[in-house]
Structure 1
Amino acid sequence: MERSMESLMILRRLACALALATVLLPAVLAGARAQDRVLRVSLNTEIQVLDPIVTTINATRVFAYLVYDMLFAIDADGNYQPQMIERYEVSEDRLTYTFRLREGLEWSDGQPVTAEDCIASIRRWAQREALGVQIMRQAEGLRVIDARTFELKLREPYAYVIEALGKPGNVIPVMMPARLANLPANAAVPEVVGSGPFLFDRAGWRPGERAVFLRNPRYRPRAEPASGLAGGKVVRFDRVEAISMPDQSTRVAALQTGEVDFLEIIASDFITPMRRNRNIVIGEPRGAGQIMSIVNLNHAQPPFNNVLIRRAAQLAINQAEVMAALGLPPGLSMERCEALYMCDTPGQSDAGTEIFRGAGPERARALLRQAGYNGEPVVLLHSESSALLNATSLVIADQLRRAGFTVDVRTSDYATVAQRRLSREPVERGGWGAVPIVWNGIDLVNPLANPGVAYNCAPHYPGWYCDPRQTELLRNLALARTPEQRRGLADQLQAAFHDNVNYLLGGQFSAPAAWRADLVGVVPFPIPVFWNMSRR
């Protein structure tokens, strides 16, 4: 009897469990399906600034490509394709560009995108970007023809109009409503209103925790396949969450467990073990998809206001040692690259590189003696909190010391370094002498947009290099008519860059992304984008 009662109780509990499972299973499956429609990512730095016109921070660039759109965009092969533009025409004399917007484009507030909006956006961008400044110097005017058509008229031909309107980095020419674009360009706009594939969920934004993006139901993708930043930006996730994770090991652990799906950059220490994990894919950037290590020199203050002392620093840098400090696996860095426009790209050039023959501490010390260097301190700003800059900065400081420089390393977090780098004051009043930084290769391939030369004599760009030769070369390049002329002038610019020592090149390397293997359709590009991809 007791055994019968026990069996009966077990059967009753089993029946209840089955009944409960019948009730809960649809909810569980629905929850799983909802989770499948959420993409969780971790960017290299946190999203803080929401206006890509007022900053060049990479996290803001990622933000911009989610919520805004551009007239033109660069594809995976480095070609510039229409994006918001349906068609455009260039007059035979190359002075008049007529642009026609795609039909049905809308802002995220439901208003139509107009030619007036685009003109206002171009003017705002041109106040902050070197290429935009150059175009507006040549421009006779911008005018609206009708609601979807506008015209740019130049006084003389400019070689890079389309490339400028589609440039992928630094200050990005995003389009926004005229009511926002007409606000001062030196302050962030108060609203995020774009026409891109995602909407920014400002109410759900938790600085230091997460930023949330929702699929934009008003966005109309182009018909072409996605390629780089161009083509059809088809969104297959309902929601993207950019989760703040400052610690590198925490990020990798979250990727392994599936708490996040995508890392913008995986720290070098984890690349080899993660390659053995069948659930993880490591990106393989090459050429313009890689990064260049740079030393920003302060031309406005001693000792680097002396070109001979700058050349001594140039000869002191051993790129192989700098790259070794990153601890990357074989194949992800180059021992030597002296090309301003990146190696393994169509623009790679040897122009001006003869200056590096016989480079080393001995030649550097000889130049310092010739320059009359008296041991003036070089204040080197060291970003200890940066995975890419921490080790390389210390190696660069050591190389300068071996060459005879008196180096005063000032260690702090990256935000402090970035702020101090803006100062033109002498070192005793908070100035600086050298700052190791990095540049994305995609920003270097166009000579007129390359920060190594494009900001020549610009009063607002840290380093304040100024070479009259480069001013003339930039002007001539902007007016060049043939590819051969452009290539010749680009080579001359690189030679002048090395001769004047605008910056020091520390070496070319990869900082690959990593993602869960069940993600498909990941667009291989230096800037992470979250359209086109889905979960297997």
Structure 2
Amino acid sequence: MQITRRQALAGAGITILSAGAASRAQAQAAPFRFIVNVGLQNLDPISSPSFVTRNFAYLVFDTLVSMDGKGAYKPQMLQGWEISGDTLTWTFTLRPGLKFHDGSAVTAEDCVASLKRWGGRDSIGRRLLGSTESLAATDPRTFVLKLAKPFGGVLEALGKPSVHVPFIMPARIANATPPAQQVREIMGSGPFLFDRASWVPGERARFRRNPDYVPRDEAPDGLAGGKIPKLNQVEMATMSDPGLRVAALQTGEVDYLEYAPVDYLPRLRTNRQMTIAQAGGQATLMYCASLNHYLPPFDNVLVRRAVQQALDRTEVLAGAGFGEGLGQPDCASLFMCGAPYSSTLGSELVADPSLDRAKALLQQAGYTNQRVVLLHPADSPLLNPYGLVMIDRLKRAGFNLDVQASDWASIAQRWVQRQPLDQGGWNIVPVVYTGFDLANPLSNMGVGFNCTDNQPWGYCVPEMTPVLQQFEAESDPAKRREYAAQLQKISFENATFPIAGQFRSPAVWRRELKGVIDFGFPVIWNIEKPAG
């Protein structure tokens, strides 16, 4: 049976209206609809490593500290903080009037519990708590962080913008739920209320404006400033077909696409009804390879280096459609080119990938055609083309691949497990991360999780540990850059998390929208949509 565009859009939760119904709906102010890359399955931003969960959480939850458009960290839920002369004691004070969606007040105790749960999962959070003597509430609006040793990135930790974000939830929920387990109740204090009854996992989630949200007085700036919810209703949905995404945007059936399908960018650029995002720097993305260090053959560094040599950045980016103006195949920095810790130290190890060197490394490693399970996210317009290039390159290098294609939501569930291959385990997953995740060594997937045993890839490089500790304790920017460069070199030598190309995949939205914040991922507050 042939599926029409109308049927496909309806299946994605996008309602197609008749002319009469459309005019009536416009009079009632149609919901703001935005399309995300993959379907929403996990609602917990601490247990889930997915961007779609992060996007969801920014509507529902709030943060103590937020990053502005220039990368500076500003108070958000906090009124401010005081730092002792030795920089070991931080006293934080909440803004008055903050409430969770059930009407209960946000307290310092909630902040402490949320930070402790987050610190059991996140790389920076784990290291911050590892440097902490005590973290405790002293009154309903005040909590104190006492460090046992210097930690140079306290605000970077509390203001971390992407996975995993230290969102605040009630203490009764945070205290009762282990970090890797999904919370059963979604209770935030953010600018929008989640309508759980209408949620269709993997398809759509709906929200309405939080009338009790108290924004800051400042103008919105990136994730910082006044988060003013101007939309009465919001719907987040996904559509697997890139062409349908673009068609729905052009007809006004949706308002915003998280990522503009790259093949359609030339057409969208000439459409005067569209605005293409221009955010760069940390808003750019990097293709990477998540390797399971727990299982053979990637417990062997030579086999991991073979993957690193197989991933030709020029071929990967070209195959995914990110050509001139969007891709940066010459970028060989683990911490993103154009970001604060960008470096060339050790980059000669990955600067010129070669299938011949990959084959030689496999032979040197004694690889004997062991099965390698690759989980391929076939439903992701961003990951699917990259995965296809990765599959081709690895096969040509000599890997015996068992390609298991599925939707990203299912893969994400398997990805965080540590099962043998015959029980649903995996060896390699093509992934993509933003500069917000990779630019800081303490959150970078190839460095920040070293020897923590709290993420699926599970690498542990002893020589990386003391350099990480030096970076943690240092507050001088120049010295931090030196330590970061050393960490990059160690990561490349050990192929902890191979990179496969930096690129820009911009968002696109209808020009009639007002107040859209061009940040690098969907920021839904401050947006105004005309009634008709």
The TM-score with structure 2 as length reference comes to: 0.90
Kindly state the Cα deviation for residue 238 of structure 1 after the two structures are TM-superposed: 1.3
* Counterpart residue identity of residue 184, structure 1: T
Kindly state the Cα deviation for residue 132 of structure 1 after the two structures are TM-superposed: 1.7
Aligned to 1:13: none
Query: Which has the larger displacement, 420-429 or 308-317?
Result: 420-429
Q: 2:205 aligns with which of 203, 211, 214?
A: 211
Is 2:334 aligned against 1:336?
no
Is 2:188 aligned against 1:194?
yes
Kindly state the Cα deviation for residue 247 of structure 1 after the two structures are TM-superposed: 2.8
Q: 2:394 aligns with which of 386, 396, 400?
A: 400
Is 2:102 aligned against 1:81?
no
Does the 8 Å CA contact 1:45/1:59 hold for their aligned counterparts?
Answer: yes
C-alpha RMSD of the superposition: 2.2
Return the index of the structure with the highest Cα Rg. 1
Does the 8 Å CA contact 2:153/2:475 hold for their aligned counterparts?
Answer: no
Query: Which has the larger displacement, 199-208 or 260-269?
Result: 199-208
- Residues 1:320 and 1:231: Cα distance change in structure 2 (over 3 Å): same
- Residues 1:517 and 1:501: Cα distance change in structure 2 (over 3 Å): same
Is 2:322 aligned against 1:325?
no
Aligned to 2:33: 40
Residue ranges of structure 1 left out of the alignment (5+ in a row): 1-26
Counterpart CA distance in 2 for 1:298 and 1:177 is 34
Q: 2:345 aligns with which of 337, 347, 351?
A: 351
Counterpart CA distance in 2 for 1:29 and 1:370 is 69
Is 2:202 aligned against 1:181?
no
Counterpart CA distance in 1 for 2:387 and 2:281 is 23
- Residues 1:386 and 1:448: Cα distance change in structure 2 (over 3 Å): same
| Structure 2 counterparts to residues 138-177 of structure 1, below 5 A | 138-177=131-170
Counterpart CA distance in 2 for 1:128 and 1:102 is 26
Kindly state the Cα deviation for residue 357 of structure 1 after the two structures are TM-superposed: 5.3
Query: Which has the larger displacement, 342-351 or 356-365?
Result: 356-365
- Residues 1:357 and 1:234: Cα distance change in structure 2 (over 3 Å): closer
Residue aligned with 1:175, SS: coil
Is 2:303 aligned against 1:303?
no
| Structure 2 counterparts to residues 125-140 of structure 1, below 5 A | 125-140=118-133
Counterpart CA distance in 1 for 2:415 and 2:349 is 28
Kindly state the Cα deviation for residue 377 of structure 1 after the two structures are TM-superposed: 3.4
Query: Which has the larger displacement, 271-280 or 420-429?
Result: 420-429
- Residues 1:44 and 1:368: Cα distance change in structure 2 (over 3 Å): closer
Query: Which has the larger displacement, 137-146 or 404-413?
Result: 404-413
Q: 1:266 aligns with which of 254, 260, 281?
A: 260
Counterpart CA distance in 1 for 2:296 and 2:58 is 40
- Residues 1:128 and 1:230: Cα distance change in structure 2 (over 3 Å): same
Query: Which has the larger displacement, 242-251 or 470-479?
Result: 242-251
Counterpart CA distance in 2 for 1:210 and 1:304 is 37
Kindly state the Cα deviation for residue 233 of structure 1 after the two structures are TM-superposed: 0.7
Aligned to 2:88: 95
Does the 8 Å CA contact 1:347/1:445 hold for their aligned counterparts?
Answer: yes
Residue ranges of structure 2 left out of the alignment (5+ in a row): 1-20
Counterpart CA distance in 2 for 1:359 and 1:101 is 50
Q: 1:104 aligns with which of 97, 114, 121?
A: 97
% identical equivalent positions: 47
Q: How far does the alpha carbon of each residue in 1:254-273 deviate from its partner, in whole angstroms, 9 at most, with x for none?
A: 11111111111222222121
Kindly state the Cα deviation for residue 30 of structure 1 after the two structures are TM-superposed: 8.2
Does the 8 Å CA contact 1:283/1:513 hold for their aligned counterparts?
Answer: yes
Q: 1:535 aligns with which of 505, 517, 529?
A: 529
Residue aligned with 2:463, SS: helix
Query: Which has the larger displacement, 154-163 or 242-251?
Result: 242-251
Counterpart CA distance in 2 for 1:103 and 1:463 is 41
* Counterpart residue identity of residue 393, structure 1: G
The TM-score with structure 1 as length reference comes to: 0.90
Kindly state the Cα deviation for residue 286 of structure 1 after the two structures are TM-superposed: 1.8
Aligned to 1:119: 112
Q: 1:437 aligns with which of 421, 431, 434?
A: 431
Q: 2:232 aligns with which of 238, 260, 263?
A: 238
Counterpart CA distance in 1 for 2:309 and 2:220 is 43
- Size of the aligned set, in residue pairs, is 509
Is 2:473 aligned against 1:451?
no
Counterpart CA distance in 2 for 1:223 and 1:351 is 43
